Amino acid sequence: MFAGLPTTIVVAGGAEYTLDGMRVVKDRLAQDSGEDKCTYVEVPDASHDFFLMTWHEPERTQILQRLAGWVHQLTSRA
């Protein structure tokens, strides 16, 4: 189902209602595309889209920095 997708990052909050589904997506991405094409980050006690909420610190800043590093890594490969 996920074969051929570009390199992907999945960010999940440990307090998300959809956490189980996020883990399944991560597992299927890794299975279909390869472990090296899927990065998964799960932040304990974080809600859905926590990195959009300014009150969710320091996790918000940490994940935004991690996302920036991930993008930088992708662009430096090209």
Band (pLDDT 50/70/90 cuts) for residue 65 is very high
- For the entire predicted model, the pTM comes to 0.86
Question: Cβ atoms within 10 A of the Cβ of 47, count?
Answer: 14
| Gap between the Cα atoms of 69 and 15, Å rounded | 24
Q: Report domain extents, the chain.
A: 8-77
Confidence at residue 78, expressed as pLDDT on a 0 to 100 scale: 64
Query: Does the pLDDT value for residue 45 go beyond 70?
Result: yes
Residue with tokens 């051929």, as numbered in its chain: 4
- Cα dihedral value 13, 14, 17, 18, nearest 10: 70
